[in-house]
Structure 1
Amino acid sequence: MLLRTGWNDLRRHPLQTLLAVIGVAVAVAVVVAVDLANHSALQAMRVSLESVSGTATHQIVGGPDGIDERAYTRLRTELGVSRAAPVVEGGATVPAAGERPLTLLGVDPFAEGPFRRPLVTGGEGVDQALDALLLRDDAIALGSGEARRLGVDAGERLRLAIAGEEREVIVAAVIPDPQDQWRGLALADIAAAQALLGETGRLGRIDLILDRGEAEALAERLPDGLRVVPAGASANAVLEMSRAFRINLTALSLLAVVVGAFLVFNTLAFLAVRRRAAIGTLRALGVQRREILAGVLADALLIGAVGTVLGLALGIALAHGLVGLVLQTITDLYFRRAAGELVLAPWSLAAGVLVGLGGSVLAALAPAQEAAATPPRAALARSELEDRARRLAGRGAAAGAGLLLAGGLLIAATGGLVPAFAGLFALILGAALLAPGFMLVLGRAVGRLTRGRPLAALAVEGAVASLSRTGVAVAALSVAVAAVIGVAVMIASFRASVVDWLEGSLAADFYVSAPAPLDDALAERLAGVAGVDWVARSRWYRVPTASGPVQLWALELPPDRDPAVDIRAGEPRAALQAFEDDRAVLVSEPFAARRGLAPGDALTLPTPSGDAALTVAGVYRDYGSPGGVVLLRRALYRTLYGDARLSGLGVHVAADAARPAVREALEAALAGVPGARLQDNAAVLERSLEVFDRTFAITEVLRWLAGFVAFVGVVSALMALHLDRARELAVLRAVGLGRRGVGGLIGAQSGLLGLAAGLWAVPLGLALAALLVFVINRRAFGWTMGFHLEVAPVVEGVVLAVVAALLAAVIPAWRAARSLPAAALKDE
């Protein structure tokens, strides 16, 4: 009987029941989608890394010029290392496929057996493909998925752009690839890869399978310039760098879950409150408390189950879109190729089930216990409920203040990322508990302005008097709007900081780059062009180390010029002076954070002649590499690594020169340099901001999802509020208030709720933004940024709250205006 009573109540209020189901479904969908996107991105990177490394335990690496292939011969013949495989790896693009990037992997099929690379060993068609690759020096093999994306088949020709030149190759084989492990990869025989990449006689690395003792013994016997490093160092470095991004993404999803939890609590609390009179009648007839509690929880479980099923389906669909955004972001920031599609992880789906079912039961437990424990006479009296809600608002405000204090102390007293997130959520929960009290204060303040205006006073009093209905709704909406404001201000601050950094870093008027290394002769030729003031010379090189690759930036400037860097740690003048005169380097903020370095610390870098001890002169701001950069003088770099090549040139135009004419002269001077590109700094800035905006696209999706969750919660709250006030509205209709008046009254009440939520969200959103800027991003990524407060996100947040509340009032106002007063006044 009790179950049938609950089921009939849900059927009598289909719209509110549907909103409850939608609220649970959206909360589950956000958790599942983001967790699946994270898991899929991690799997994609692992597959990509394993596809080119296989079961290798160590690698032999060289200097900037790679490894002379004669070292491999000596390794196999004189040093007796049998489980070794040479590898050549380089980048290419496919002009006919919209410049789609490909990684060209050259291997020796005769040495690949022990390494079990998914691309090279095992699998249908692999052996035949390797036979075909050995017969030609222009042949490649593609996976079936990649061949389909490129629109080619076995036996057809394909044009690749490599090092600024187009090369025609033949697709000798297309290998079945049901798991898409070959995504973004092209396989070639090592000799063909050397020829295509212009690396004849050179190897990129030599993969090894050794135990620790064998690796240490081999390291002592290698010639100068070669080192043994763990094969997993590079992979671990990539995964570690991306960890911060994934943690931030998960944190945003948890923020949406917090909002969704408020929504579930809001909706299911109304379920118990709406049945309060019916529960009082049942209690008076002898129904036990535990039976009432079981009945309400059964209804909550039913709503949670339906919402969870819908949420899982919606989450999987949403994850298909999010995984593309996550993989694109990781490709832009951390990894040049991310293979893979959506991976349905059981734990991600289990987390969604836990949020949906567990959250629904927990959300309904407290109001169900309260309703079951209330004496029958009190359950039938509305005033008892509102008096209790006001008392709880006072206690909640005290608890909220305590949570704000605890969260602030936790953030200030600890230095980790996890405590920072815990403190952040404590602040959010504390602010949410303070929201009903703020609603009361605002209601009293606005109430003084409505004296002499009966309808306005009724609107204010109605919103404040029904605190049991409106308190949780205002809290949920304020948290969601605060998330919108906070993330928007953080992104605006980050973007402004990136723009400031780019404008400072892009000091040159033009930048010259090419796929192949440049030289000093070209730099001198460009410096002699009429209108050119001076030319900066740069060399980028990744040094393989046991803890992962280290990005070096060797810079050469005229004697009277300093690097255009913003020193954030260390005295700037002293740091630049040490950088010029001593064996000192400047390190970027992410590198210093990852390695725990400060000005004055020692930094050891491996070089062909042994380890070199350098001094950290200062730490500078840099957003270009999440893994960090070591900046050193080019003269010091050439001394350490014997490399005179250049990666890029920065051309500075004289102040009185005509920029268009200088550009034409520079283009003429670059004639004959394969693949040379002359870029205006404005184009570089535009491209950088495009990458930035694409990176934060997923953040935009998540914050608007959080806003949608709160909107559903407000609709549910207003539906319950006006359902409960049906008799009051009917009395007003009976004494002469027209339908427009009823609609205006409901709209005014809803607008006041939205205004309260929006105003309360402003300080919470700004505090959230400050924590994201000064604490979360600093601890996650290692970089600092300025706090740029823009009025637009704040105003948009308040407007969003008011508009959401007004839109949520449309259906209740329409239903109230169409209802008959006599029917609403009839008391069964």
Structure 2
Amino acid sequence: MLAMFALLRTFSWQDLRHHPWRSAAAVAAVMLGVALAFAVHVINASALDEFSQAVRAVNGQPDLEVRAMQGPLPEALYERLATDPQVARASPLLELSTLAQAGDATTTATAASPARIPLRVLGADALLLPTMAPALMPRAWDTADRFAMFAPATVFLNTAALQALGLSTAAPAQLPQIMLYAGLQAPLNVQVAGTVMAGGAPLAVMDIGAAQDLFGRAGQLSRIDLQLLPGTDRAAWERALRAQPDWPANVVLAHPGDAAQRISNLSRAYRVNLTVLALVALFTGAFLVFSVLALSVAQRWPQFALLAVLGATPRQRLVLVLAESAALGLVGSALGIALGTALAATALQLLGGDLGGGYFAGVQPALQWSAPAALVYGTLGGAAALVGGWWPARAAQLLPPAQTLKGLGTAASQAERGTVGITLVVGGAALTLAPPVFGIPLAAYVAIGMLLVGGIALLPWAMAKLLAWLQPLAARHALPLLALERARRMRGSAAIAVGGVVASLSLAVALTVMVSSFRGSVIQWLDAVLPSPLYVRSALGAGGSDAALLPAGFAEAVGQLPGLDRVHALRASPLQLSPTLPALMVLSRPLGDDPAQSLPLVGNALPVPAGRTGVYISEAVVDLYDLRPGMEWPALSESFRPPALDRKAQPAIFYIAGVWRDYARQTGAVVMDRAVWLRLTGDARTSDLALWPSEGADIGALQASIRALAATQAGRSGSNTPQGASDGGSRSGSSNDALVEFASSGAIRERSLRIFDRSFAVTYWLQAVAIGIGLFGVAASFSAQVLARRKEFGLLAHLGLTRRQILAVVAGEGAAWTAVGAMAGVLLGLVVSVVLVHVVNPQSFHWTMDLNVPGWRLLALCVAVIVSGTVTAWLAGRAAAGRDAVMAVKEDW
């Protein structure tokens, strides 16, 4: 037994030593699959961990967070909660999004303007921060006043903000000045007096009273953090609070972990889809391992037969090939984990943690390497290699020793009925009807796997039918008949070769069709939601933020300028209906009598009943809030109830009149008419203006007029400086072009498509790797089939066929089988793409799209596969049909 074990080990080692390129190809396939999947996991885990740490540092660890569904909280609510007998501490906070620039008005006017960075400003009660959020506690520099944390127009920056603004973290001799920009207000001069320990994106902390005075937000809060007395039943206290008659209906109570959980749920579908796409490379890598080991076993059939004669049992031959595949998988997995770690570190350094998805914008996470995750993905690589090596191992186990030593090969495969393949295909089709699990289309992923495996399993049966149909057509031509009869008697081997083509091409086709469908639908959507040729907004550019809003009256003033036919005011405002769901966006815009003219509706709009207010929800709202057209939406009505109203008062009863497509907001959006928004809120500020210039109007002159009007608005705001802003927070002038920015519909469309392509950049790369692995698998598969027929070619040469004719037969076989594989791969890929487009995407991201089949790109993929198979078969035929083939026949004489 020990002698046989040593012989088998030496047999495997000699094959690896004499054919290192073949082993390296299999190792590379497993390595790439494991590396891509593990890199995606590490990047997303690192980004999510960094985001969670930043949220915990900024939010602290309160028991509850009190927020308004939309807009600010009234300061009177803080007084009420702070005096509640069950509340130990109540911390008021004011959050604003601004742009920051190093220097003051004097330095920026005399020198090149430094870059502006997004800066989150947080106003807090410094006396409560040590117990509520220690990471936010200001640490004044030695050169600052001892009471600087209470001074007006004074901020404390975290390390990210200091670095972005080019400031030193060490105490300076003179306190630096920075300018803050919010909307059309003139820039605010503030001084930096120290630092805070909180990590994450650039952050500034200041006294809440100073922040209210500086930004004109007297009496307004963003949230209130609560710590309850020990022993308080939090759930019972929440229920009692909500049951109070005068408790505002538009206030939500959130738990401190909800923010991190919301972003985790929001990015989960993106992370899962990237991981699945990365595993596609591992799936195709398993086929490459199969092809490489099939080649190895085919070339070593005489040696396997000799081992059998020497006493190696069929089980030992099976274990021998499986051990070789396990060794390849182990080496490939180890290298893949190392490569994946390097890829993740590089991506985090260059791209951040969002991989184009935009969920972790501004977060620069550190690498979070996980040994359990590495073990899981390494195990997947080893399993893929074992799966790829199973069928060659079975071939080595079942080969007949006597026939193999005589060069007669294996017996013709039996007729296939296709029962297994049909069962898998039907089962996969049935699974596409299953709902998602925790927002992830797990059943759809399993369905795709079953469709792929079922389609490949049907190949022997389908090829038997095809060969039977082709036999009469080739009966009068010797060379085609020779190729056909050989394929008919060895259709199992032919099906294996075609299976590699189908596996690689079907996945490539499915991904190509999915991305093309999504991009085409986005282009149609952009044409629908960008009706005007020109748009203007605040230069702050933080959409949905109060600090980026254009002031009330600005839209009307712009409408009075010469050279304009009409102006539409657009408003985007976040709305937090549920503490466990991401905030949806309320969009107000003029809808007119026919909303279908301004919204890409899915289906027809319903007539709005009398006494109801019509709104239009995006597809994400349908799934996230379980709503349908024709339903009323009481929760939305409650969110628009002013805090001063009695609970019995009902400002509006919203009626869902239609559903529209929105590819910009995965969290959901609600559209209402501009007049309805103004009636319910009285807030006439706007986010964007859609402009229709008059025919022949000078666009440059029109933009200059709007900039001048914006400067006038900023000056008017400066004349009404709130009390306290003049004490160190004076408003200074700025260049006109810093207040508003313009964009044409074409520029917005181009920028949106760039963002789309960036979001799918990883998908394109994963697709290219999968195609590359698949094409290499095709080459290796045909090499295995052709090189195993060396004696057959020698016999044909003895029967009178020239080398050119033999090569023509081989190349023709390669072209024919890859053409069959290409057709099957395209058909199967189209089926999988239907599942991706109509099941996976709606269940993952809550939007639908139209199926778009890019014919020319698919044709190019098919041509590449056919050419690869033909050239490979011809090259392998040259190696197998030489003098060695003739000598191989003589060995049997």
User: Is the shorter-chain TM-score for this pair beyond 0.5, marking a shared fold?
Assistant: yes
Query: Offset of 1:625 from its aligned partner?
Result: 0.8
Aligned residue for 1:153? Answer: 168
1:103 matches 2:120: yes
Give me the whole-angstrom Cα distance separating, in 2, the residues matched to 1:133 and 1:221: 42
SS in 1 for 2:574: strand
Equivalent residues in 2 for 1:184-223, closer than 5 Å? 184-191=201-208, 194=212, 199=217, 202-210=220-228, 211-219=234-242, 220=244
Aligned residue for 1:361? Answer: 386
Give me the whole-angstrom Cα distance separating, in 2, the residues matched to 1:466 and 1:531: 78
1:499 matches 2:519: no
Say whether the 8 Å CA contact 1:438–1:760 is kept in structure 2: no
How many pairs were matched up? 813
* Cα distance change of structure 1 residues 38 and 743 upon mapping to structure 2, 3 Å threshold: farther
Aligned residue for 2:829? Answer: 765
Aligned residue for 2:734? Answer: none
* Cα distance change of structure 1 residues 552 and 34 upon mapping to structure 2, 3 Å threshold: closer
Query: Offset of 1:707 from its aligned partner?
Result: 0.9
1:648 matches 2:688: yes
Query: Offset of 1:163 from its aligned partner?
Result: 1.8
Equivalent residues in 2 for 1:279-678, closer than 5 Å? 279-320=304-345, 327-328=353-354, 332=358, 334=359, 336-380=361-405, 385=410, 387-388=412-413, 391=415, 394-395=416-417, 397-412=418-433, 417-438=441-462, 467=491, 469-514=493-538, 515=540, 516-547=548-579, 548-557=581-590, 562=595, 564-569=598-603, 571-572=604-605, 574-575=606-607, 577-578=608-609, 582-603=612-633, 604-605=635-636, 606=639, 607-609=641-643, 610=647, 613-654=653-694, 662-663=702-703, 665-674=705-714, 675-678=739-742
Amino acid at match of 1:29: A
Deviations 1:35-54 (A, max 9, x none): 33343343344334333323
1:42 matches 2:48: yes
Say whether the 8 Å CA contact 2:12–2:320 is kept in structure 1: yes
Deviations 1:756-805 (A, max 9, x none): 32222211122222222222212222222112222122212212312443
Say whether the 8 Å CA contact 1:27–1:256 is kept in structure 2: yes
Give me the whole-angstrom Cα distance separating, in 2, the residues matched to 1:641 and 1:559: 20
Amino acid at match of 2:97: G
Give me the whole-angstrom Cα distance separating, in 1, the residues matched to 2:817 and 2:215: 65
Give me the whole-angstrom Cα distance separating, in 2, the residues matched to 1:583 and 1:16: 69
Say whether the 8 Å CA contact 2:305–2:400 is kept in structure 1: yes
Q: Give 2:67's match in structure 1, choosing from 35, 39, 61.
A: 61
Give me the whole-angstrom Cα distance separating, in 1, the residues matched to 2:497 and 2:32: 17
Give me the whole-angstrom Cα distance separating, in 1, the residues matched to 2:782 and 2:142: 67
Deviations 1:116-148 (A, max 9, x none): 56x4379x9999999796276555555556655
Amino acid at match of 2:203: A
Identical aligned residues as a percent? 28
Say whether the 8 Å CA contact 1:585–1:632 is kept in structure 2: yes
Give me the whole-angstrom Cα distance separating, in 2, the residues matched to 1:158 and 1:442: 79
Q: Give 1:265's match in structure 2, choosing from 269, 279, 290.
A: 290
Query: Offset of 1:440 from its aligned partner?
Result: 5.7
Structure 2 unaligned residues grouped into runs of 5+: 1-6, 102-112, 229-233, 541-547, 715-738
SS in 2 for 1:387: coil
Say whether the 8 Å CA contact 2:794–2:888 is kept in structure 1: yes
SS in 2 for 1:643: coil
Give me the whole-angstrom Cα distance separating, in 2, the residues matched to 1:748 and 1:483: 25
Aligned residue for 2:732? Answer: none
TM-score (norm 2): 0.80
Amino acid at match of 2:556: E
Give me the whole-angstrom Cα distance separating, in 1, the residues matched to 2:504 and 2:150: 63
Give me the whole-angstrom Cα distance separating, in 2, the residues matched to 1:170 and 1:107: 17
Q: Tell me which protein shows more helix as a share of its residues.
A: 1
Amino acid at match of 2:410: L
Deviations 1:547-580 (A, max 9, x none): 43543435253855646113325x42x34x45x9
Say whether the 8 Å CA contact 2:294–2:784 is kept in structure 1: no
Give me the whole-angstrom Cα distance separating, in 2, the residues matched to 1:157 and 1:802: 67
* Cα distance change of structure 1 residues 114 and 731 upon mapping to structure 2, 3 Å threshold: farther
Amino acid at match of 2:570: S
SS in 2 for 1:90: strand
Say whether the 8 Å CA contact 1:90–1:197 is kept in structure 2: no
- Rg larger in 1 or in 2? 2
* Cα distance change of structure 1 residues 303 and 608 upon mapping to structure 2, 3 Å threshold: same
Query: Which stretch of the first structure deviates more once superposed, 318-327 or 55-64?
Result: 318-327
Give me the whole-angstrom Cα distance separating, in 2, the residues matched to 1:808 and 1:108: 73
Query: Which stretch of the first structure deviates more once superposed, 478-487 or 641-650?
Result: 641-650
* Cα distance change of structure 1 residues 659 and 462 upon mapping to structure 2, 3 Å threshold: farther
Say whether the 8 Å CA contact 1:653–1:659 is kept in structure 2: yes
Query: Offset of 1:624 from its aligned partner?
Result: 1.9
Aligned residue for 1:25? Answer: 31
SS in 2 for 1:584: strand
Equivalent residues in 2 for 1:121-136, closer than 5 Å? 134=149
Q: Give 2:768's match in structure 1, choosing from 696, 704, 713.
A: 704
Amino acid at match of 1:529: L
* Cα distance change of structure 1 residues 713 and 137 upon mapping to structure 2, 3 Å threshold: farther
Deviations 1:219-242 (A, max 9, x none): 549875873411344443333222
1:724 matches 2:788: yes
* Cα distance change of structure 1 residues 305 and 274 upon mapping to structure 2, 3 Å threshold: same
* Cα distance change of structure 1 residues 822 and 349 upon mapping to structure 2, 3 Å threshold: same
Deviations 1:502-541 (A, max 9, x none): 1111122322322443345222222223343332223222
Query: Offset of 1:628 from its aligned partner?
Result: 0.6
Query: Which stretch of the first structure deviates more once superposed, 508-517 or 622-631?
Result: 508-517
Deviations 1:283-308 (A, max 9, x none): 22333333333323222222221121
Query: Which stretch of the first structure deviates more once superposed, 516-525 or 695-704?
Result: 516-525
Query: Which stretch of the first structure deviates more once superposed, 81-90 or 300-309?
Result: 81-90
Aligned residue for 2:756? Answer: 692
Say whether the 8 Å CA contact 1:537–1:557 is kept in structure 2: yes
Structure 1 unaligned residues grouped into runs of 5+: none
Amino acid at match of 2:308: R
Deviations 1:270-323 (A, max 9, x none): 444444332322222333333333323222222221121122222223334666
Give me the whole-angstrom Cα distance separating, in 2, the residues matched to 1:789 and 1:168: 56
Give me the whole-angstrom Cα distance separating, in 1, the residues matched to 2:270 and 2:240: 38
Aligned residue for 2:844? Answer: 780
Say whether the 8 Å CA contact 1:157–1:168 is kept in structure 2: no
CA RMSD in angstroms, aligned pairs only: 4.0
* Cα distance change of structure 1 residues 384 and 823 upon mapping to structure 2, 3 Å threshold: closer
Deviations 1:707-740 (A, max 9, x none): 1221232232233233313334456678998888
Q: Give 2:17's match in structure 1, choosing from 11, 18, 21.
A: 11
Amino acid at match of 1:583: T
* Cα distance change of structure 1 residues 361 and 767 upon mapping to structure 2, 3 Å threshold: closer
Aligned residue for 1:183? Answer: 200
Amino acid at match of 2:39: A
